Structure 1
Amino acid sequence: MVRKIAAILCVLVVAGCSSVYRNHGYVPKDEELSEIVVGVDTRDSVAEAVGTPASSGVLDSSGYYYVQSRVRHFAYRRPEVISREVLAISFDTGGVVRNIERFGLEDGQVVPIARRVTETTSSDNGFLRQLLRNLGNFSAGTFLD
């Protein structure tokens, strides 16, 4: 019985230390992209050929962005991005394909997030403090009229 429990514990320890890989997103394959002709196809024909992306540009003329990433989760460590691929299809103002580009993880840049907070003077004043402070601002004449 002790050997069975020890064997089960060993299997659980080994399984707990194995990496788990997760895939996120979708990037069309080269065969699908070969159907798209730069300067001829439009937004609608690109959507029919390879599907609509999960994200697109803010402006109508900016483009479609297909993103796929592979993330490794290992035990208690923070997840690590193993690979990332971005396919950018840009359009001109008329909605015609202008360019198709691929970017990898090595092409990316780390962008630090700035946490700027606007200071307010009322942050230290709670509801009751503001209520009690306003009690002295009323006059009896305003209530009698």
Structure 2
Amino acid sequence: MTAGKAIGAGLALAMALAAGGCSSIRENRGYVADQSLVNAVQPGIDNQRSVEATLGRPTFTSQYGEPTWYYVSSVTGRKPFVRPKIIQHSVLKIRFDAAGNVLSADRTGVDQVAYLSPEGDSTPTLGRERSFFEDLFGNIGQVGAGAGPSGPGA
């Protein structure tokens, strides 16, 4: 191999490594769904025990109303040093009747995701803002005088 070909091969390898460093990083978050197992859950046939045996424990369950289990999964992608963005998102919602039998199994996607954008480093609250000195001296004159622990004038 000549020196020119070695330099060219080394340069090509360096460029390939540099390009690989800028590729997107994919991460699975939450429940990792197996489509064949998800499709195996049938309303009217399965119950809570069979769903748990097939899919495992849910991500979270409903606290009020009819019993509902949620399996939440996301795939995010990000470039190095950048916040991750959701590429795929799915929620499997399985509703049960009072006896524990499956009523329905519904899937929703990224169209149901709500994006929140906080404003700055503070949280807006109701009421008026008070300065440090208003907080420090604000109660002077507000508390009734003469009403000590043993009553007035004691």
What's the offset of the Cα at 1:17?
2.4
Partner residue in 1 for 2:137: 129
- Match for residue 52 of structure 2 among 30, 35, 47: 47
| Residue ranges of structure 2 left out of the alignment (5+ in a row) | 1-10
User: 2:127 maps to which residue?
Assistant: 119
Matched, 1:64 2:72: no
Higher alpha-carbon deviation: 26-35 or 44-53: 26-35
Q: 1:99 aligns with which of 104, 109, 114?
A: 104
* 1:17 match: 22
Percentage of pairs with the same residue: 26
Q: Is the 8 A contact 1:61 1:94 kept in 2?
A: no
Query: Per residue, is there more helix in 1 or in 2?
Result: 1
TM-score where L is the length of structure 2 = 0.64
Name the counterpart of 2:5.
none
The residue number in structure 2 matching 1:78 is 83
AA at the equivalent of 1:91: F
45-54 vs 107-116, greater mean Cα deviation: 107-116
Residue 109 of structure 1 deviates from its aligned partner by 5.1
On the 8 A contact 2:62/2:69 being kept in 1, the answer is: yes
Q: Distance in 2 between matches of 1:140 and 1:68?
A: 61
The runs of 5 or more residues in structure 1 that have no matched partner are: 1-6
1:27–1:85 CA contact under 8 A, matched in 2 = no
How many pairs were matched up? 135
What is the CA-CA distance between 1:117 and the residue it aligns to? Answer: 2.8
Supply the RMSD in Å over aligned alpha carbons. Answer: 3.7
Distance 1:42 1:120, change over 3 A: farther
Aligned to 1:108: 112
In 2, Cα distance between equivalents of 1:120 and 1:97: 51
Q: Within 1, Cα distance between the matches of 2:142 and 2:105? A: 66
Task: Summarize deviations over 1:24-81 as a string: whole Å, max 9, x none.
Answer: 0114423324543312322233112211111122326241111111111113443211
